[in-house]
Amino acid sequence: MLDFIGKRIWFAGLSAVLAIAAIALLTVGPGLNEGIDFTGGTSTTLQFDDTNIQTDDVRTVLAEAGFGDAIIQSTGDGSFFIRTEVQNDQAQDDVIAALDRTYPGAYTRTEVTTVGKSVADDTVSNSIQAIVVASVFIVLFLFWAFRTVPAAYRYGLAAVVALAHDVLLTLGLFVVLGELINAEVNASFIVGTLTVIGYSVNDTIVVFDRIRENVRLGAGRSFRSVVNQSLNESIMRSLSTSFTTALVIVAMLLFGGETLRDFLLVLLAGVVIGTYSSIFIAAQILVFWEERGFFGRRRPAEAS
């Protein structure tokens, strides 16, 4: 039987390092690459007949129309995703005129989306509220589901700490992905984050339910040994479920196209991080709370 509890200092240390790195990336680092859902602006998808057109060629045309600072991302086969500040009707006409002069009849604007600043601010506010409300309901549900266990509130709070850990690490990862592959934080990211919260809580409940059952069956045993047994009994189920889920997400990433990429990246990150936190964070918090320390300090009653 693996001794997960005995290694908790290593798990806590790893999570602390990753959390500090994520906070640094979010605050003093480059920060998140926010999409127009959060910042406001106009996004345009252009499809050129000539697949040899490069990003610099498109930038030259946009600079002629007054948008030299546009964010341009090539999506392959002559397709480009372009994000600028909000374009009014005149600005859009200027862009079309510049494109027509350089590539007359050789391109198609497949999608144009404009989001105003006030709408973007509402999106940010609503996203934060959605995550907070989801967390509150999760705590209440766990209070009710584990009401027969002593100090049931610990299970709810431990799950929320694990969720905060998951969200923070996912945000930190997206800072890095934003720099490497221009991954954006947009409305799809929030949907993915809420999905991840649900998946992570489900995985945590599986572990907690096993702990509850073993607490009932193992009267007189230390809580540490009960949790360790529960983790050993549930880890293969958690890993198997997460592995098969991750395989499906990876397949969709490979064949699902650019539109779903950022959403799927959130799901993939959440599945991996959520599985880790359910086993190595949430359950460890319960033991910490019971023993009042991460370093093996036990209550006098247990140490004897």
Residue (of 102, 109, 35, 37) closest to 65 by Cα position: 102
Which domains are delineated in the chain?
A: 5-35+119-303 (1.20.1640.10), 41-115 (3.30.70.3400)
Place of tokens 């709408």: 119
Largest CA distance in the chain: 85
State the alpha helices, DSSP H only, in 71-222: 89-102, 117-145, 153-181, 187-217
Distance CA 192, CA 109 (A): 28
Tell me the whole-structure pTM to 2 decimals: 0.76
d(Cα 208, Cα 279) in Å, to the nearest integer?
Answer: 10
pLDDT tens over the chain, length 304 residues: 788 888 888 888 999 999 999 999 999 888 888 877 677 778 888 888 888 888 888 888 888 888 877 778 787 788 888 887 777 778 888 888 888 888 888 888 877 777 766 666 677 788 778 778 877 887 788 778 777 777 778 888 888 888 889 989 999 999 999 888 878 887 788 888 888 888 888 888 888 888 888 888 866 788 888 888 999 998 888 889 889 999 999 998 888 766 778 889 999 998 999 899 988 898 888 888 877 644 444 554 444 3
